[in-house]
């Protein structure tokens, strides 16, 4: 069973210099109870993808073709009210910055009650649920924590509270946008373990975005590699890490993630820059930075299956694998 299925999604931003094609023909699935990781350099469109799923694109953004299928709905066709009803109870999100993700002037308890506003529970029932989930994320003295404000907690605790809030309604899909980037290494490991534990507990699927290949390898069942708004490769973590088909993915993985020190948080750098997305080339988007460039790269690239469930958007992929 697939929880979330994205097919040929295109997103544009209107800018002064013309339309910016931020996502092009993005397709991938998030199967039930699986953790899907998304990797890619800064600016490759990870946040845009999340916002498109949540129906929270900036005012100048629009979906220009393709579908986002979730629980029988095409999210690109839902009205704002219907989208709002899905956000929270069915699709929950944990954002990168734990310091800024919680409202500073509303108590933790009130924020958690507000999240349950559609549940029909009484105030004390809502609070009981909040306390239970706070205990699960190991917030000490969870009952008293409800009356406290975010600034009274440490960064790691804030991030665990954010995770608790996201899982409060037992969503079918949890989206995590670099949830551990702002934490130090020990906290990062603990948070990842906690996430995995809770995911199995609740039985939800996770869309996990990270810069950290080691974390992806550790946590995720499937991986989607993005470059300049396109999915260049996707497959199970093992397929992609052991046998990358796209030169971009191969370059990312050249340093073995298992040996990557905890301090290496950023993707390995590849010479060159992401092209201007206002003027997309017709051919392979990675070609200007690719050391295996060939005449076939001038043509438009489609996803080539390498194995079942493993594809790469590279004309040369099959020949090499």
Partner 1 sequence: MFSYALKRLGLSVAIVSLAMLLLFSMIYLVPGDPAAVALGPRATDAMREALRIKMGLDQPVWVQFWNFFTGAWTGDLGREVLSDRPVAQVVMEQLPYTLALIAGGISWSVAIGIPLGCWAAVKRGSWADRIVGVLSVAVIAVPSFVIAIYALLVFAVSLRWLPAIGAGEPGDLGDQLTHLILPSLAVGLGWIGYIARMVRASMLEVLEAQHIRTARAFGLPENLITFRYALTIAILPTVTLLGVGIGQMLSSAVFAEIVFARPGVGKLVYDAILTRNYPLVTGAVLVTTVLFVLINLLADLIVGALDPRVRSRL
Ligand X SMILES: Nc1ncnc2c1ncn2[C@@H]1O[C@H](COP(=O)(O)OP(=O)(O)OP(=O)(O)O)[C@@H](O)[C@H]1O
| Smallest distance from ligand X to CB 65, Å | 17
- Indicate if the alpha-carbon torsion angle 207, 10, 279, 230 is positive or negative: positive
| Smallest distance from Mg ion to CB 165, Å | 20
The residues, any chain, with a CB within 8 Å of residue 317's CB and separated by 6 or more, are 245, 246, 304, 306
Task: Write out the binding residues for ligand X, residues 54-73 only, by CB under 6 A.
Answer: 58, 60-61
Applying CB under 8 A, among 48, 76, 93, 239 the residue interacting with partner 1 is 93
Between CA 232 and CA 215 the distance in angstroms is 20
Q: Based on the shown chain and the rule CB under 5 A, indicate whether residue 181 belongs to the binding site for Mg ion.
A: no
Q: Based on the shown chain and the rule CB under 8 A, indicate whether residue 107 belongs to the binding site for partner 1.
A: yes
Closest CA to 53 of 86, 19, 17: 86
Q: Give CA separation, 36 vs 208, 224, 233, 277, 297, in Å.
A: 6, 7, 13, 25, 28
Between CA 98 and CA 93 the distance in angstroms is 12
Residue 197 vs 276, nearer CB to ligand X: 276
Applying CB under 6 A, among 2, 42, 114, 307 the residue interacting with ligand X is 42
Residue 44 vs 311, nearer CB to ligand X: 44
Q: Based on the shown chain and the rule CB under 6 A, indicate whether residue 44 belongs to the binding site for ligand X.
A: yes
25: left (phi over 0), alpha (psi -120 to 50) or beta: left
Q: Judged by CB under 8 A, which stretch of 110-118, 119-127, 214-222, 295-303 contacts partner 1?
A: 110-118
What residues pair up with 311 in beta bridges, in sequence order?
234, 305
Residue 34 vs 265, nearer CB to ligand X: 265
Query: By the 8 A CB rule, do 66 and 76 touch?
Result: yes
Residues 32-51: x/- map of binding to Mg ion (CB under 5 A)?
Answer: ---------------x----
Please give the DSSP secondary-structure letter assigned to residue 289: G
Task: Tell the burial category of 39 from Cβ atoms under 10 Å away from its Cβ (0-12, 13-18, 19+).
Answer: buried
Q: Based on the shown chain and the rule CB under 8 A, indicate whether residue 306 belongs to the binding site for partner 1.
A: no
Applying CB under 6 A, among 3, 6, 9, 22 the residue interacting with ligand X is 22
Site size for partner 1 (CB under 8 A): 30
Applying CB under 8 A, among 2, 114, 154, 186 the residue interacting with partner 1 is 114
Q: Judged by CB under 6 A, which stretch of 38-46, 114-122, 135-143, 290-298 contacts ligand X?
A: 38-46
| Smallest distance from partner 1 to CB 111, Å | 8
Q: Judged by CB under 8 A, which stretch of 78-86, 128-136, 182-190, 236-244 contacts partner 1?
A: 78-86
Structural tokens at position 209:
């975005």
Q: Based on the shown chain and the rule CB under 8 A, indicate whether residue 56 belongs to the binding site for partner 1.
A: yes
Q: Give CA separation, 25 vs 7, 82, 171, in Å.
A: 7, 25, 27
Please give the residue ranges that form the binding site for ligand X (CB under 6 A): 13, 15, 20, 22, 40, 42-48, 58, 60-61, 277
């Amino acid at each position: 069973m697939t929880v979330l299925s994205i097919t040929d999604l295109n997103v544009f931003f209107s800018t002064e210099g013309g339309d910016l094609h931020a996502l092009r023909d993005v397709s991938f699935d998030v199967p039930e109870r699986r953790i899907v990781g998304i990797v890619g350099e800064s600016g490759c469109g990870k946040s845009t993808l999340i916002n498109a799923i949540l129906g929270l694109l900036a005012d100048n953004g629009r979906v220009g073709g393709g579908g986002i299928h979730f629980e029988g709905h095409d999210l690109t066709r839902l009205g704002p009210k219907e989208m709002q009803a899905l956000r929270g109870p069915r699709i929950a999100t944990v954002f990168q910055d734990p310091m800024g993700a919680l409202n500073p002037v509303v108590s933790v308890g009130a924020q958690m009650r507000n999240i349950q506003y559609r549940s029909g529970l009484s105030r004390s029932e809502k609070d009981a649920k909040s306390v239970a989930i706070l205990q699960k994320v190991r917030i000490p003295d969870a009952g008293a924590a409800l009356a406290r404000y975010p600034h009274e907690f440490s960064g790691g605790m804030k991030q665990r509270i954010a995770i608790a809030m996201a899982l409060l309604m037992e969503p079918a899909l949890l989206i995590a946008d670099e949830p551990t980037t702002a934490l130090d290494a020990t906290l990062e490991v603990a948070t990842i373990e906690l996430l995995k534990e809770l995911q199995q507990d609740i039985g939800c699927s996770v869309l996990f975005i990270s810069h950290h290949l080691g974390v992806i390898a550790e946590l995720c069942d499937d991986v989607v590699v993005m470059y300049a708004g396109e999915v260049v490769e996707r497959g199970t973590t093992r397929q992609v890490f052991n046998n990358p088909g796209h030169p971009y993915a191969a370059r990312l993985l050249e340093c073995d993630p298992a040996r990557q020190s905890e301090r290496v948080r950023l993707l390995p750098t590849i010479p060159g820059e992401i092209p201007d997305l206002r003027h997309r080339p017709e051919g392979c988007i990675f070609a200007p930075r690719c050391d295996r460039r060939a005449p076939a790269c001038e043509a438009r690239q489609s996803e080539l299956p390498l194995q079942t469930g493993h594809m790469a958007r590279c004309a040369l992929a099959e020949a090499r694998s």
